[in-house]
Homo-oligomer: A and B are copies of this chain.
Amino acid sequence: MTSGLPGRLLDDIGPAIVTGKYPPGAVLRTEELERAFQVSRTVVREALRVLEAMRLVSSRRRVGITVLPRVDWNLYDPRVIRWRLDGSDRADQLRSLTELRSATEPVAAALAAARATPEQAGRLTELAVQLRSTTHDLDAFLVHDIAFHRLLLAASGNDMFCQLGDVVDAVLTGRTQHHLMPPRPKTEAVRLHVEVAEAVAAGDSARAEGAMRAIVTEVMEDLRK
């Protein structure tokens, strides 16, 4: 995937840390990594600097590179999210992210109702309609579902919400891949998406928030099983 050497190193070490192969407190040394991966010091250090930026490790003189405990990690870094989802605590991670979704999306919907441009509102309605017409094809459904939620977050006019689009993408993709979805999307869920779109178009914050809250509580209940 990543082209450069530091990137490749990162893709080796990062997941190893996140999955606990290098547990917190473990110490790496640049020289070891140089030999282990047959790369020069420059490459090792550049990779390390990135891991440090993600707060996965901390580098100290005379000690080495120490793996930090999980509480320090930048859990919102897209790569960390990906690595955790690919790793062993996938289920746990999916739960965390779903809870995050369930908190943010209703509020984002309310804001979108107040701030969405007519174009955004129109496109949102289109996507909701497409959702309804692709309940038979899970893959196509997923694409539209992701587009719908991404657009909604963008329409909220809040940078921070907008960025969570990747999280939603990961969650939706993840739960379809691991068959945590019902084989056919529930008609009630689809109806609620349409309602969200309508409410946003009508500028009705309360209704948009309510409908979205209904969607995410349903998702949360599905997950509990």
Contact = CB atoms under 8 A, between A and B. Distances in A.
Interface residues of A, number: 33
A176 to B, nearest CB: 21
Report how many copies the assembly holds.
2
A107 to B, nearest CB: 4
A126 interface: no
A37 interface: no
A161 B100 contact: yes
Interface in A96-111: 96-97, 99-100, 102-104, 106-108, 111
B111 A104 contact: no
Nearest to A79: B53
Nearest to A76: B76
Contacts of A77: 53, 74, 76-77
A39 to B, nearest CB: 14
A24 to B, nearest CB: 14
A106 B104 CA distance: 10
Interface string A49-88: 1101110000000000000001100111110000000000
A99 B161 contact: yes
25 contacts: A42-B42, A42-B45, A46-B46, A46-B49, A49-B49, A50-B52, A50-B53, A53-B53, A70-B159, A71-B162, A74-B77, A75-B163, A76-B76, A76-B77, A76-B163, A97-B160, A99-B107, A99-B111, A99-B160, A99-B161, A100-B160, A100-B161, A103-B103, A103-B104, A103-B108
Interface of A: 6, 42, 45-46, 49-50, 52-54, 70-71, 74-78, 96-97, 99-100, 102-104, 106-108, 111, 158-163
Given A49-B50, A100-B160, 8 more contacts: A6-B49, A42-B42, A45-B46, A75-B160, A96-B159, A99-B158, A100-B104, A103-B107
